[in-house]
Structure 1
Amino acid sequence: MALFIMLMRKMAKNRWLELSLLTGLIITVGLASSMPIYTGSILQRMLLKDLEASQTVNRIYPGAYSSSATILNYRPEDQAKLVKEADRYMEEQVLAKLGMPVQTYAIQRETLSLPVTPADPRKADPNVKRLASIAALSGLESYIELVDGRLPSKEIKDGVYEALVTEDALIGLKMVLGTEFVFRDQSIKGEVRVLPVGVIRYKDDQGLYWNFQENTFEQHFLIPYELFEEKFTQEGVMRVQFLIWRANLDYAGLTIKHTEAPLEIRVNHSKFLSGTFGTSYVSMAAEPVLKTYSGKESKLRLMLWSLNVPVLIMLGFYLLLVANLTVGRQKNEIAVLRSRGAGRIQLMGVYAAEAVLLGAVAMGIGPFLGLFIAKALGASNGFLEFVQRAKLEAVLTAEAYRYAGIAAVCSVLMLLVPVFLATRSTIVSHKVQLARVRTLSLAHKFGLDAILLGISAYGIFSFRRRTADLQALGLNSMDFKVDPLLFAVPAIFILGFSLLLLRVYPLAIRLLYRIGRKWWSPPAYSALIQVGRSATGYQFIMLFLAMTMATGLFGASAARTINQNAEDQIRYRNGADLVLMAKWENDAPPQSDGEEKSVEVNTSKRVQYSEPPFIPFTELPGIEGIARVFSRKGDLVEKSSNAEVTIMGIETDDFGRTSWMRDRLMDHHFYDYLNLIAQDPAAVLISRSVADEFKVRPGDSLSIRWDGTAYATVQVYGVVDYWPTWNPNPRQAAGQTQTPQAGNVNKPVKPKLVVGNLSYLESSLAMEPYNVWLKLKPEASLQEIYKSIEEKKIPLVSVVNTAQDVSDSRKDPFRLALNGAMTLGFMISAGVCLIGFLLYWLLSFSGRTLQYGIYRAMGITLPQLVGMIALELLLTSGAAVLIGGFTGAVTGKLFVPFFQLSFNFSDQALPFQVIFRAIDELRLYAVVSAMVAFGLAVLGFMLSRLRIHQAVKLGED
């Protein structure tokens, strides 16, 4: 109890330091717990979006789960037992374990399809051959409506089974309602009589109950499910052949943690049915989507950790700073206690109890802060940019508390490091240390800056080697196992490079002092002497500020670069704001797969197309530019060599006004190449791959064609490296697999391009469907454009909306993670940096009260004293901000390209470009400047309250 009272008194005495320490602990625990919360939440949102998208594309409800089995060997004595076991397995091992609420569930049974004849030949033509089966569906009555007749009895009446039929069954079996039919077969015990008493149709043909139904029961008699089970399943009156189970589950209840469980359940179910019945089939509509999520989760988790490494390092420095300040104020007390017989274990126990108490409080509050952080991440649209977006469904999980616990334990151990070092000193050794002037910090003494920069150099080398291999082989970044160290290297470099600059900084201050020591004013002279002689003491706070600034600049550059590159890739891939393909009338025979093809292969007759009117497109509202763009695969011939090539036909002037192209991609401006081929109808531009492979240069001639056309001769006028919509990256040929680690590397295929004048291609080869590219005015409304298209009755085959694609990309979980983590990481760093900055300078000020009092007594005015402190702040904090800005810029240039490893190289047509924006830097400098100004204002206010007699009396005491 005495120890606890002593602990409380000590914490109360240093309440502001303890509160600052607790703040850092809470933020550290909250940030750590936010990672699993955010990862799960964003993947959960993505999972639901992907499932919804799959429903749009495949027209299958994502929560659909169906299974079926065929009883091949008729065993009446075992049939009832096997069917009952299969039903129980479906309910207990599948539906109960999938973890999603069941919306509809139906069991369907069908007998063997057998010949059926009318009981009374006068009521139906006995010469018509009819094959039918008896079927039953559980819960059928709730999802049908009667067209004619009545519902059947659930009991046999005079040996006759009453049944329902569909309108298609009336036609298919050529019968009328009320006609009795008889099944006679050697597999039946006697005969089975069926009387259709009602005609039905689906109550809601779009309802979930019917979403599996592919037939219309045109050869089925539907009897009550309970009656079917009793007479056919259990008693074996007639052979049961097909067993079908259909369930619709609420896929919104599927959590990201259980994406692998449904896949395992489906596999086990399939094995069970195959082992029990022989022939079976199990289908789960969500399976293709679920299979991709384990990789996405690990990839996102790695990125979040890598993005938060600098912030975690900042928080670690913050905890060390506050712990050092706390212990520093108590070093004299600790030394006295050690000299009077107190053991190190006893002293460590007191501080350990304090740290554990603070850690426990942080564990109670931190996860809720992490929950808030995770929700805020979902609203980030860019670095320090927030938008209104659908609320992110984030919840606290056991994993979040586990992360929080690990962070709390590590933080508590970190807080005890300064205590452990302080307890080694006695009162004598403590006074000796105070009298010594340290010329080097521990980090510089042990060469930590050189070690960290060496690790960074390895990271840069490793990244560049991987990038070169991926680009050369045309592979996906997932084809290589990425070293997680690559994403931690930027934080290591920031720390190492900042330490290197701080190693040089004291020399620069001394040089500055020597240069102007004959002209410095007293305040400047005092500030330079103070900073020059105590440079080591300032390095911790300077490192703190430098890392804050560097982390912010690196985050701004990374976020801006990835956001801009992702959107540029979309604009380049699409080519224009809006790309429309109208329906072209043609004389091609209908395709069996329902798709319209531009050519008929292996036929002597070419497909003739009729060009739709083009003028209606030019009359659409909000159009700034419009162009006809033709593109298709063809053949290129040069002497005896030929190759597959993409042939693009354009109208140069319209194409230049309409298409999107990034600047400085080629040797000359994009427009210069268009002007070049505008001079000659037969002029073409070729890709670098064509020029290198065929040794073609401007002035040479080539022959091009596509299926069903003769060759057309064109003349090369220029060579391009990039062109709107064309991806120059090498790709693997179809069927090739790459295992670089095993040494199995196939040569990738380099895409080839020929760009010519559309009019020449149409006259020399053939006219085929082209796309209409539209450039929209800034104020254009897509809704008005679509409405105008509908009013003009323009039949469209496809629409590509670049603005919508860009909007969708901004909701990508990786971009959300990047923007959110970078923004909140900087805000957290700036927040703790402000607290640390104020604590350091306030304690420094209180420790130099006597010095300031003497200055005032010597005649130094208050403005001069404030100017002296302001200059000291400028030489330390201002210099730290500049060091951090320079470090952040260098880090961005070197390490932002690392994020290429998070994307598919083969799909990145444009080169990855590191981007800095002045607005980002202005925001950062505004935040840091406001922080320093606030600190200076607080210090100035305290100076204004300084009393000379108090300072002098303090010195006498």
Structure 2
Amino acid sequence: MAILVMIFRKMLKNKWLELSLLFGLVLSVALVSSMPIYTEAILQRMLVKELENYQVSSGAYPVTHRTGLYLTDDDPQKNGESTRQVDAFMESVKDRFSLPILEQVTERGTDTFSFKPIDTERVDPEVRRNADLVAFSNLEQHIKLVDGVMPAKEPVNGVYEVLVVESALTQLKMVLGNEFIIADERIKKPITVKPVGIINPKDEHDLFWYTSVESYSRSFLMDFELFEKTITNSSETDISMRSGFWFFAFDYSRMNMQSIESFIRTHNRIEGYVTNTFNSQSIKAPALSVISKYLDRQEQLRVMLWSLNVPVMIMLGFYLFMVSNLIVDRQKTEIAVLRSRGASRLQVLLSYVIEGILLGVVAYIIGPYVGMLITKLLGASNGFLEFVQRSALIVELNATAYKYALYAVTFSLIMTLIPAFLATRTSIVGHKQQMARMTKLSFWHKYFLDIVLLGISIYGLQSFKRRMSDLQSLGLDSASFKVDPLLFLVPALFTLGLGLLLLRIYPLFIRLVYWIGRRVWPPSLYSTLIQVGRSSTQYNFLMVFLMVTLATGLFSASAARTMNSNTLEKVRYKNGTDVIMNIKWENDAPPPSMGGMEEAGGEEAADTSALPITGPKRIQYTEPPFQVFTELPGVENAAKVFVKDDANVQIGKSTSRIKLMGVDTDEFGKTAYLKDRLLEHHFYDYLNLISTEPSAVLVSRSMAQEAGVKEGDSIYIGWNNVTYKPFTVYGIIDFWPTFNPNPQQPASANKKPELPKLVVGHLSYIQSTIALEPYQVWIDLKDEPNARMVFNEAINEKEIPVENIIDTGYELTQAKNDPFQMAINGVMTLGFLISVVISFFGFLLYWVLSLNGRVLQYGILRAMGISFMQLIGMLITEQVLTSGAAFLLGAGIGNVTSVLFVPLFQLSFNPATQVPPFQVLFDPSDSFRLYMIVTGMIIIGLVILGHLLSRIKIHQAVKLGED
């Protein structure tokens, strides 16, 4: 108990340091515990979105589970018993899906029997009427009566009243009120049924109707309870139940990784039960095909989040080490005294362990909840340092979050105990020697850790460059957005290694400055240079901490901006404009059932250059009016763009497949988008180049190099069933809107990958000389907030026959909402903000404690005649030589790290689709924002330190010296 009292008194004595340490512990625990929370939340959002897309594309509700059985036993009682067993089993496992049940349906069905009418005068007895008896649980709640009445719950005069769907009247050649009896030699006790009502679904989108209503056009729908009493559970009937279906529909908006595991586990259990028990069965769970790929992505996202947070965790580790080192530094005299009076190292260390556990418990309790707030912040990130109002992530604490929090507390406790462990090795004599002059080499400089870290990071840099070169040259495909964890670890090692290397050199710089002006420096600057030069080790932790935080912030900013920009630019380039529409053209093509003839192969079709190709009749098209698109609200510009992916070009005797694009140069230039500096000249210049000559074309460099084509050469272009016409090459281009010059297939063993080829010509010339075929409509929307919405409403209102539409705005939104993109934006934004916050706290804490520890020195200087302004000058000089130098060096390290390592992030993109080429971006606003924060931090720190310095009294310093 006494040791606890001593620990609490010590903590109260250093309350600001302890609170700062607790702040770092909470932040570390929150950051680590947020990883599993964010992983699950972002995957849950991604999964729900994919399930929604599945529902839209397939028209079927995705998260359902249907078990179907066909009972083969000839004994009705055994089939009834089997059915009851399955009912009980399904009832016992349905809650194990761990999802809210929106709909539950149990369906029964008998064999198909031949029914004959009772009244042969009113109903034709010669018509074959084969039907089965079917029953649904809770059917009444999901139907509307079209005609007739609802059936009775019990037989009426021995007749069973049933319902039918509308199509059953036609299929079974009957009307309501007719009675039919089973005419089957297998049935010794037939029953009579009487259709009394016609039904339709109450709601077309009702999940109850998991199959089409039309599939029951040869069924009599009996009351479920009556069916159970008469057929399923009856010991007297010889009508056997043959089929049973158990259907569940779940609320997938609440689906997460835990419920996915429960869903799969329960599905496997049901499948194992029915497979081992029954010979004929079927199980359908459409969601499994959507879910399966996300199990792998869960692990990918977890690894990536750890990787993204490596630099931030290194910063937090430095912060914890620095704060605990400051605490121990203030207590080194006490530790030395305790050691000199017989206390063992273990006893001294045990007091710090207890102190760390007390703080760790508080951090463990608070940290995960702060992690939830961090997760919500990440979910609102729409870009680097950009936040939007979007639907909140479903954030829940889980066991994994607390497990990660425990790991963080343990690691943080170890980091805080290292300074205490090292301090227990020093005797009181050694402590006084260290205080006298602090020029001893630090641990990392003594063992050349800076050189080791730089060597590892440079090796990693070269390895990544080789891998990137192989991917690009061989046309290999990298996994979609699969981020290599080392992409984040290696830059962090480089940042730390370079910072330590500069700190090895920095004391020499200080000594050089001192030596150059040793005869002219004023006393205040002279004293500061001596203080910094002789106590370089004292400032190492602070300077490394500030350098790493600033460099990490700049690297995070550059990496996030680069990856965001390249992702969005890829979408814009791939589409080429805001909206692309394919419109239905009237034509004389025969219906698909009358076709069957395939077009001739491309290369064989181009053997002659001046004669039409024989083959199927060429389809004649009628061009729809184009003016309607230019007049649509929200449209700034519109252009006709003819694209023929399977055109052919003949150069001499060789023929090859090309992509042909026909444009109207003026309209295309106003409508299309192409990033600047991709071509030698602006793409307007290339359009102007061909505008005066109808037969002029632009060709891709891949085609020019492969075929030896140059400006002024003639080429022949055409496709199946048309006459090839001559064109003249006017220019060679490397890029063009929508054109991907990268190889789309990996290289084979014997040849290089084939490069795509493009030819751009005049639409009017192509239409008049070769053929009139459907073109695309490219739309450039106005730069207004609601232009896209107004445009879409106009398309629907005018009923324009759109066959296909590509919306760049939608794809950009999808790209921003990609979970991996959101993770990068959110985590790097978080890393940037944390680096700013902890650098401010670390900076202020260090200098306040440093000032308090040097009260005697400043008091003596004041007593010797140094004015207050000279003391302020000394403080500013010391700040410039330490904190200012650290910030300056950190900025340089951050920029160097970005230039070297950010280009490696193109490994995260598929080289086959990464067009335009990957480009490293530096947003000046990010650097300016960070520099302003740093400047403000230094100014605030100086104001606080100056205020503290002004409160120093000479008599207090003298009294302190006497003590």
Give the alignment's TM-score, normalised by structure 2: 0.93
The residue that corresponds to 1:44 in the other structure is 44
Counterpart residue type for residue 572 of structure 1: Y
Describe how 1:562-601 pairs up with structure 2 within 5 A: 562-591=563-592
Counterpart residue type for residue 614 of structure 1: F
Task: Give 1:266 shift.
Answer: 3.4
Q: Deviations over 1:601-655 (max 9, x none)?
A: 9972222221111112222344433211111321423344433322211122221
The residue that corresponds to 1:632 in the other structure is 644
Task: Give 1:285 shift.
Answer: 2.8
Counterpart residue type for residue 657 of structure 2: E
SS in structure 2 at match of 1:919: helix
Counterpart residue type for residue 323 of structure 1: S
Q: Is the 8 A contact 2:599 2:720 kept in 1?
A: no
The residue that corresponds to 1:741 in the other structure is none
The residue that corresponds to 1:753 in the other structure is 758
SS in structure 2 at match of 1:177: coil
Segment drifting more, 391-400 vs 239-248: 239-248
Give the direction of change, closer, same or farther, for the CA distance of 1:72–1:691 in structure 2 (3 Å limit). farther
Match of 2:784 among 779, 782, 797: 779
Counterpart residue type for residue 630 of structure 1: F
Q: Deviations over 1:64-122 (max 9, x none)?
A: 222323345645463223333333343334x2322112121112222233333222221
Describe how 1:8-23 pairs up with structure 2 within 5 A: 8-23=8-23
Q: Does 1:675 align with 2:688?
A: yes
Describe how 1:417-436 pairs up with structure 2 within 5 A: 417-436=418-437
Task: Give 1:872 shift.
Answer: 1.4
Task: Give 1:543 shift.
Answer: 0.9
The residue that corresponds to 1:6 in the other structure is 6
Segment drifting more, 280-289 vs 657-666: 280-289
Q: Deviations over 1:730-775 (max 9, x none)?
A: 2238xx9x9xxxxx99964433322222112212322222222222
Give the direction of change, closer, same or farther, for the CA distance of 1:623–1:516 in structure 2 (3 Å limit). farther
Give the direction of change, closer, same or farther, for the CA distance of 1:342–1:248 in structure 2 (3 Å limit). same
Distance in structure 2 (CA, Å) of the matches to 1:837 and 1:125: 98
Describe how 1:277-292 pairs up with structure 2 within 5 A: 277-292=278-293
Counterpart residue type for residue 198 of structure 1: G
Q: Deviations over 1:699-751 (max 9, x none)?
A: 33333333332323333333322221122232238xx9x9xxxxx99964433
Distance in structure 2 (CA, Å) of the matches to 1:129 and 1:836: 90
| Unmatched runs of 5 consecutive residues or more in structure 2 | 603-613
The residue that corresponds to 1:490 in the other structure is 491
Q: Is the 8 A contact 2:43 2:256 kept in 1?
A: no
Distance in structure 2 (CA, Å) of the matches to 1:689 and 1:279: 58
Give the direction of change, closer, same or farther, for the CA distance of 1:627–1:585 in structure 2 (3 Å limit). same
The residue that corresponds to 2:738 in the other structure is 725
Task: Give 1:551 shift.
Answer: 0.9
Segment drifting more, 858-867 vs 600-609: 600-609
Q: Does 1:657 align with 2:670?
A: yes
Distance in structure 2 (CA, Å) of the matches to 1:943 and 1:526: 17
Task: Give 1:831 shift.
Answer: 1.7
Task: Give 1:951 shift.
Answer: 2.2
Segment drifting more, 378-387 vs 291-300: 378-387
The residue that corresponds to 1:610 in the other structure is 622
Give the alignment's TM-score, normalised by structure 1: 0.94
* Cα RMSD for the two superposed structures: 2.7
Q: Deviations over 1:222-257 (max 9, x none)?
A: 112233334434556334443322221111232223
The residue that corresponds to 2:327 in the other structure is 326
SS in structure 2 at match of 1:124: coil
Q: Is the 8 A contact 1:308 1:821 kept in 2?
A: yes
Q: Is the 8 A contact 1:621 1:784 kept in 2?
A: yes
Task: Give 1:396 shift.
Answer: 1.3
Give the direction of change, closer, same or farther, for the CA distance of 1:586–1:178 in structure 2 (3 Å limit). same
The residue that corresponds to 2:87 in the other structure is 87
Q: Does 1:846 align with 2:858?
A: no
Give the direction of change, closer, same or farther, for the CA distance of 1:656–1:481 in structure 2 (3 Å limit). closer
Percentage of identical aligned residues: 50
Q: Does 1:26 align with 2:26?
A: yes
Segment drifting more, 265-274 vs 253-262: 265-274
Match of 1:875 among 872, 875, 881: 881
Task: Give 1:403 shift.
Answer: 0.6
Distance in structure 1 (CA, Å) of the matches to 2:210 and 2:22: 57
The residue that corresponds to 1:829 in the other structure is 835
Distance in structure 2 (CA, Å) of the matches to 1:531 and 1:723: 59
Q: Is the 8 A contact 2:676 2:682 kept in 1?
A: yes
Match of 2:807 among 801, 818, 827: 801
Describe how 1:425-464 pairs up with structure 2 within 5 A: 425-464=426-465
Distance in structure 1 (CA, Å) of the matches to 2:706 and 2:457: 39
The residue that corresponds to 2:948 in the other structure is 942
The residue that corresponds to 2:405 in the other structure is 404
Task: Give 1:675 shift.
Answer: 2.6
Segment drifting more, 249-258 vs 430-439: 430-439
Distance in structure 2 (CA, Å) of the matches to 1:833 and 1:280: 64
Task: Give 1:460 shift.
Answer: 1.2
SS in structure 2 at match of 1:147: strand
Counterpart residue type for residue 30 of structure 1: A
The residue that corresponds to 1:218 in the other structure is 217
Counterpart residue type for residue 116 of structure 1: F
Task: Give 1:536 shift.
Answer: 2.7
SS in structure 2 at match of 1:690: helix
Distance in structure 2 (CA, Å) of the matches to 1:598 and 1:26: 69
Q: Deviations over 1:272-292 (max 9, x none)?
A: 444544443322232222112
Task: Give 1:312 shift.
Answer: 0.7
The residue that corresponds to 2:606 in the other structure is none
Describe how 1:120-159 pairs up with structure 2 within 5 A: 120-159=119-158
Distance in structure 1 (CA, Å) of the matches to 2:484 and 2:530: 47
Q: Is the 8 A contact 2:454 2:498 kept in 1?
A: yes
Distance in structure 2 (CA, Å) of the matches to 1:593 and 1:375: 58
Task: Give 1:901 shift.
Answer: 3.7
SS in structure 1 at match of 2:282: strand
Distance in structure 1 (CA, Å) of the matches to 2:845 and 2:878: 16
Give the direction of change, closer, same or farther, for the CA distance of 1:707–1:86 in structure 2 (3 Å limit). farther
Describe how 1:102-117 pairs up with structure 2 within 5 A: 102-117=101-116
Segment drifting more, 654-663 vs 931-940: 654-663
Q: Is the 8 A contact 2:376 2:393 kept in 1?
A: yes
Counterpart residue type for residue 622 of structure 2: S
SS in structure 2 at match of 1:680: coil
Distance in structure 1 (CA, Å) of the matches to 2:841 and 2:481: 43
Q: Deviations over 1:105-147 (max 9, x none)?
A: 1122222333332222211122323322221112112212223
SS in structure 2 at match of 1:174: coil
Distance in structure 1 (CA, Å) of the matches to 2:712 and 2:460: 46
Distance in structure 2 (CA, Å) of the matches to 1:116 and 1:746: 70
Q: Deviations over 1:331-366 (max 9, x none)?
A: 111111111111111111111111111111111111
Distance in structure 1 (CA, Å) of the matches to 2:280 and 2:414: 61
Q: Is the 8 A contact 1:598 1:768 kept in 2?
A: no
Task: Give 1:489 shift.
Answer: 1.1
Counterpart residue type for residue 21 of structure 1: L
SS in structure 1 at match of 2:97: coil
SS in structure 2 at match of 1:724: coil
Q: Is the 8 A contact 1:166 1:216 kept in 2?
A: no
Q: Does 1:381 align with 2:382?
A: yes
Distance in structure 1 (CA, Å) of the matches to 2:304 and 2:880: 36
Q: Is the 8 A contact 1:633 1:706 kept in 2?
A: no
Q: Is the 8 A contact 1:598 1:769 kept in 2?
A: no
Segment drifting more, 147-156 vs 52-61: 147-156
Task: Give 1:407 shift.
Answer: 0.5
Give the direction of change, closer, same or farther, for the CA distance of 1:456–1:365 in structure 2 (3 Å limit). same
Distance in structure 1 (CA, Å) of the matches to 2:88 and 2:593: 42
Segment drifting more, 284-293 vs 681-690: 681-690
Q: Does 1:706 align with 2:719?
A: yes
Give the direction of change, closer, same or farther, for the CA distance of 1:97–1:650 in structure 2 (3 Å limit). same
The residue that corresponds to 2:336 in the other structure is 335
Give the direction of change, closer, same or farther, for the CA distance of 1:838–1:804 in structure 2 (3 Å limit). same
Give the direction of change, closer, same or farther, for the CA distance of 1:519–1:620 in structure 2 (3 Å limit). farther
SS in structure 2 at match of 1:907: coil
Q: Is the 8 A contact 1:110 1:243 kept in 2?
A: yes
Give the direction of change, closer, same or farther, for the CA distance of 1:885–1:343 in structure 2 (3 Å limit). same
Segment drifting more, 525-534 vs 837-846: 525-534
Counterpart residue type for residue 63 of structure 2: G
Distance in structure 2 (CA, Å) of the matches to 1:222 and 1:495: 75
Q: Deviations over 1:905-932 (max 9, x none)?
A: 3332221111001111011111111111
Counterpart residue type for residue 149 of structure 1: G
